[in-house]
A and B are shown apart, each in its own frame.
Chain A
């Protein structure tokens, strides 16, 4: 039977089968598995049906713990049910997995295997998660490439029904889940043929039903539990045989034959690698190469890891096996060895009596590929070479340099076995330029228009703005097993000229390869603008050089900054992978296919771009000599601290792989303040200050998401030695008469978002289009700006105590201790975090939930949290996603306890310290900046007094004394955490009455994982997991929490009323109890123009969608209404606000009738909520009045 060939990602392949064979799908987002859930939701929204003609019911839950609970329930009630997850998500499922397996329930969980958070979080792939569930009783079933993902998904679903053992079907996160490959798609007929209706019926008959009731989930006692538990053994014993049988059936159906353990290599091989997952493909490639050269090497890939069939395993090994290297993609500290290694050793020992081998093979184990660390043929060969040794290293590592425990194997990095056939192309792109989507499209074109096999893999950096993407594309006549990055390319495309200074883009290009450069310079000028090293490489490698001004073509075609179509056209025009005319037609066909649903205009723009491209693409003859004097700049300044120069700089330069184990802290602890050394220069334009127009309001400083625009008020002598272009003017504030004022931009750190310009209220009186800030191209401003910025930082500003910290104008000079984060340009969250650090950063401890804020806050190479000149600043940590409130409460408990201990010690040592000082220290309320300042002074005095003392108490107090200065505990996270996964903990923590400050950065979706619906998502908005629009209204978290009565609650939106935001932060922090600030955070996931995002915040408040209010329990104590409604009654409709944002507009473009219905309901939600808040604002007063009136009347009577 002819099957459809499709070019898809691994996640899509798994979702295709899972959707077809299930009735209920419970989902929750977690990278890298989210793609499977997203596809399921999109298909369900589009009415796509499973093989029984039913649209599966897709339900998002509040956490993976919730998802698996729903799965368990749905299975128990008879529905065929699945879920998708990874990493910590899988860990949250463990309790239920024991139950599901213990009850012999048929199901398959599809897992994109990912690292577990240990010393650090990592979103990338390894087997730590699946290995952590190997004792649950789930079968563990491993696929190694995209085709296998689809095939094994089906085999797993068929096998679980027959065996009754639940399955984890897993594949490597990113390497397989996100690899794009051309595969044969299983048809509905195939799937139907594999799914046994009788077994499905049996599954349903086991379900709970009041029509034939049973009871499941008993509590058992010592007398019977053990025996009852052993009853499952026959099912596990039978499972491998069932899988084998189903694999045979599958082979008859499709021609693709799999075994429980698949051996590849010569039958008489002596050195065998045993491995699971995508690494097996790299091993197979290497074995093929080495075996051709006569080496007796082979690879055994493990398909069914649990239940582990010793018999099948040993039978799969060649009888000639002498040495086995077992590779584990996980680490189990303190164990005898990693899990697969231990199993293999055990299997061989157990099977020795069978005498398959003349002598017990030597077995060594090693770790590879943690967190998607590259695993390539050079490493595989390194392992085979090690196995030749008399005493090969056991418990080795490969792919890193372990200079601490010396576990690592050496290998020859120059061992490269790239196929000579076909195209191997590497493309360097900017995140925003469409390079990756163009490449994905090219793969589809080649996959669908030629008999060639195609593969694409994409590497992203850790920044959300100005990020670099590297695409690795292979096309060729033979199946592609290369699950590793391209090491020798015959085509390199560099889509951003600036990369030539930042990365070695030609490193992998082979001799006489093609180099395509997107260049703003004319063909006859470009050579002179290339760095010296690049010129040399081009000459040495005899490169064929092509240039195009892609941005110009894009601009002229109406495509803005997206050069995807243009660079894709260049690739096809040059590479010859398809005949040129055919390629152009194929590109146009794919453009029509991709864009016609978005309108003819978009199609036409892209068609124009294709045509213009061919006219602007030029081949440039490479000169014979190097003429450039341009040197690549160093990754960081020579002034940077040693750690930054030696370690961080390598990561910035994309050479992190070369750093040895000893370069890193052993416990995940890193210095703060490293972002300032990474000068990214990503802004095309930056704001320029007009001091004569400026009214010194400080709004630009407040809203800047990246802390790149700052104000300083200083003594005139601060200007001594100022650079010629440094700008300064007289401070306008009456309190600062005689002082100078400067707004300074950090040109190399600015992302060019333009929010500062958008909010600037000051306009020129002679030319109103000029504001006090205006955007200008960055390159000409860079050099002067850099010098001015450095000078600015060193000016001594006025003392913090002199600033009015109750006004935006007053706080503009406070130093931010959160700067230059990798957040999206124009991020709506970071201004709030920055404000918190300006106000309280020097005494703050921050617990940060996993999400956007933990990524831009803590993702290497550099981190934005920093410290002031005194060395004080926020101490920051991320524990998990779900536990952040509890984690932060732990900070509070610990700090409070240490403070009590310090006070006790101080009292005990009163004689030495002085009674008045001790009393003053203990009595200090420390509610504002000056009181904190005073307390710090007292504590220093205390330390002086006990400095010479040798008693144990003095030693203890010396270490605890700083706890006497009030610490500000901040618990920060997004709505996914606060409304969903962490809500239970948040609720509890707030209920304790402890002095913690919770800042919810409410973007109303799971932003970090790509915009999935949370309970904060408003009704009618489209989000992932709500492709058909959110049906239910947004949860009113504030109102829920206000019911406690003793928790400070504020709803703020900086863009609508900045002074209100400031007031709320100050009140929340001062309140000696729990506080919750819910901050409207605009987000790129809203589908908005980020430059005008603050206007959107204003519209949200004006429409009543986002009311501003404060609930201050302190007012209750004063006999006042604690609830203050700070925004006015709605002035515009919800629609007027909502139509600014694609999340609301989108439904009208897919289902206008439903959009109208939901928009009307959303307006109703707003009206209803506003009425409630309005009542709350007056009801207290009415109540007071009522209480007073009867009293008066009683008094009158008496």
Chain B
């Protein structure tokens, strides 16, 4: 019997395939379909810091705009006794997802500052989430903010969240740190239960008709997994925290490679949006076939086997490889 199980952020998973945060999780039925297709866990769509802070402000603005100005229309909306603001809907979704499936449900908090939003981690835990993914999406546009300040911010946010919950917390990292290994170590020391490599910074596009900068989401391709693969390979074995790779995981080979460099879990998003939820089943079958063909008994067996620490040519992950690559291009 082939053992695909893995341990990710202290949670035992039946295999390394995790459905990452995406619009798919907005529908509770999709949790069931993902479970049926074989996904080991599902990361719920993200609750954004802005969503929490702006929603409240917007509601206040919308309700107060134009009020108390004119004698006939002192207000424009009825005043309900209670509002369901911010995470309530999200928390309710987590509760429903937990009721719907047996596989772990991981919540996702997305933000970039220290503030009240991090306290919602506690509510998420109370709603039943098995783990929490902290997506610290910080665009360092201010020339007055140094790399060290940004690194400290990550650590502080993590500590703030860790202090409020008992469930495991993963940090989704940016690939743009000057010293990723060092940053990984600091996060590990600050209590991260997993590091997810890496966040995709969605780049906006230009709308030439209207001369506007327009949001434009492009799905990833397999070629994009090289970056996280390399850093997983480097980090593997140096941290207590689990490693997960996200971005560019489309095929069984992608999954196998990631596990071999040390990933405890692989995050699936674009491939599911492109190929549908059933693709999880295909991936699992292909992984099993490959393992069978290559006589692997378990995921545990292959995990980290191609990491920098375990591979025969550790320099391949470093500067020497860079030179080789450039020279090999004709």
Residues of A within 8 A of B (CB): 31-32, 38, 41-42, 45-46, 123-124, 174, 178, 431-432, 434-437, 458, 460, 462-465, 467, 469, 558, 560, 562, 595, 597-602, 604-605, 763, 768, 824, 855, 1007-1011, 1022-1024, 1027, 1084-1085, 1087-1088, 1090, 1142-1143, 1145-1146, 1148-1150, 1152
Contacts and interface: CB of A to CB of B under 8 A. Distances in A.
Contact of B77 (A45, A601, A1024, A1090): A1024
Interface in B64-78: 64-78
Nearest to A1027: B78
A464 B70 CA distance: 6
Contacts of A1085: 66, 73, 76-77
A1146 B56 CA distance: 12
A469 B69 contact: yes
A1048 B57 CA distance: 44
B100 interface: no
Given A45-B78, A597-B83, A460 B69 contact: yes
B55 interface: yes
Nearest to B59: A598
B62 A1087 contact: yes
Given A42-B80, A597-B81, A1152-B89, A1010 B72 contact: yes
**8 tightest A-B contacts by CB?**
A599-B56, A431-B69, A1142-B62, A1027-B78, A1010-B73, A436-B68, A1087-B62, A1084-B66
A1135 to B, nearest CB: 12
Interface string B294-322: 00000000000000000000000000000
B72 A768 contact: no
B142 interface: no
Contact of B116 (A464, A604, A1090): A604
Contact of A1010 (B58, B60, B74, B89): B74
B127 to A, nearest CB: 15
**Which of A42, A469, A1010, A1143 is packed against the most chain B CB atoms within 10 Å?**
A1010
Nearest to B117: A601
**Which of A124, A458, A1084 is packed against the most chain B CB atoms within 10 Å?**
A1084
Contacts of B89: 1148, 1152
A601 B70 CA distance: 28
Given A597-B82, A602-B60, A1149-B83, A1011 B67 contact: no
Given A597-B83, A598-B56, A123 B71 contact: yes
A600 B116 contact: yes
A599 B85 contact: yes
B69 A598 contact: no
Contacts of B64: 434, 437, 562
A725 B108 CA distance: 56
B82 A855 contact: no
B77 A1142 contact: yes
A600 B56 CA distance: 8
**Which of A45, A763, A1085, A1143 is packed against the most chain B CB atoms within 10 Å?**
A1085
A1009 B66 contact: no
A1087 B75 CA distance: 11
16 contacts: A435-B68, A460-B71, A462-B70, A463-B70, A465-B69, A467-B69, A597-B85, A598-B56, A601-B52, A605-B57, A763-B211, A855-B72, A1010-B76, A1023-B77, A1142-B77, A1146-B80
B118 to A, nearest CB: 12
Nearest to B70: A464
A1022 B63 CA distance: 12
Nearest to A471: B68
A224 B84 CA distance: 63
A1087 B77 contact: yes
A41 B52 CA distance: 30
A625 B152 CA distance: 57
A1084 B66 CA distance: 7
A31 B86 CA distance: 35
A469 B68 contact: yes
Nearest to B81: A46
A1011 B77 contact: yes
A435 B273 CA distance: 51
A1087 B73 CA distance: 13
Contacts of B59: 598-599, 602, 1142, 1145, 1149
B293 interface: no
A598 B211 contact: no
**Which of A46, A598, A1152 is packed against the most chain B CB atoms within 10 Å?**
A598
B73 A432 contact: no
Nearest to B120: A600
Given A597-B82, A768-B211, A1010-B75, A560 B61 contact: yes
A37 to B, nearest CB: 11
A564 to B, nearest CB: 9
Contacts of A465: 69
Nearest to A30: B72
A608 to B, nearest CB: 12
A41 B81 CA distance: 12
A1007 B60 contact: no
Nearest to A1087: B62
A1008 B211 CA distance: 39
B254 to A, nearest CB: 34
A802 B68 CA distance: 47
Contacts of A560: 61
Nearest to A1151: B84
Contact of B55 (A469, A599, A768, A1150): A599
